[in-house]
Structure 1
Amino acid sequence: MATWNSRGLRGSTLEDLINRTNERYEELNLALIQKIPTPITPVQIDKEHRHITLAYFDKISTVDYIGAVQGIPVCFDAKECSADTFPLQNVHEHQIHFMEKFERQGGISFLLIYYSARNILYYMRYAEIRRFWDRAQEGGRKSFRMEELSEAYFLSLKNNCFVPYLDYIQKDLDGRD
Structure 2
Amino acid sequence: MASWNSRGLRGSMLEESLNMTNEKYRREKLALVQKIPTPITPMEFDKEHHHITLAYFEQKSTVDYLGNVQGVPICFDAKECATDTFPLQNIHEHQVEFMTEFEEQEGIAFLIIYFSGCNLCYYVPYRDMMRFWDRALGGGRKSFRREELDQEYQIRVQGEVFIHYLEALQKDLDSRE
Matches within 5 A, 1:51-70: 51-70=51-70
If the length of structure 2 is used for normalisation, what is the TM-score? Answer: 0.91
Query: Alignment partner of 1:156: what SS?
Result: strand
User: Secondary structure at the residue paired with 2:117?
Assistant: coil
Aligned to 1:77: 77
User: Using a 3 Å threshold, how does the CA distance of structure 1 residues 71 and 47 change in structure 2: closer, same or farther?
Assistant: farther
Residue in structure 2 matched with residue 166 of structure 1 by the alignment: 166
RMSD: 1.1
User: Which has the higher relative contact order, 1 or 2, with Cα contacts under 8 A spaced 6 or more apart?
Assistant: 1
CA–CA separation in structure 1 for the residues paired with 2:132 and 2:58: 29
Matched, 1:153 2:153: yes
1:168 positional shift: 0.8
Alignment of 1:44-123 (within 5 A): 44-48=44-48, 50-123=50-123
Distance 2:159 2:27 in 1: 17
2:21 counterpart of 1:21: yes
Q: Which runs of 4+ in 1 moved over 2 A?
A: none
C-alpha distance in structure 1 between counterparts of 2:47 and 2:41, whole Å? 16
In 2: Cα distance, 1:45 partner to 1:159 partner: 37
Q: Look up the match of 1:9.
A: none
2:83 match: secondary structure:
coil
* Cα deviations by residue, 1:65-85 (Å, 9 ceiling, x for unpaired): 001000111000100001111
Aligned amino acid, residue 169 of structure 1: L
Q: Which amino acid aligns with 1:162?
A: F
Please state whether the residue corresponding to 1:110 is helix, strand or coil: strand
The count of corresponding residues between Structure 1 and Structure 2 is 166
* Structure 1 position 161, deviation (Å): 1.7
SS in 2 for 1:63: coil
Cα distance, 1:159 vs. partner?
Answer: 3.3
- Where 1:141 maps in the other structure, the secondary structure is coil
Secondary structure at the aligned position of 2:158 is classed as coil
Identity %: 61
Ranges in structure 1 where 5+ consecutive residues have no aligned partner? 1-11
Q: Which runs of 5+ in 2 are unaligned?
A: 1-11
State the alpha-carbon separation in 1 of the partners of residues 146 and 112 from structure 2: 14
Residue 38 of structure 1: how far off its partner (Å): 0.8
Letter in 1 for 2:75: C
What's the CA shift for 1:49?
Answer: 5.3
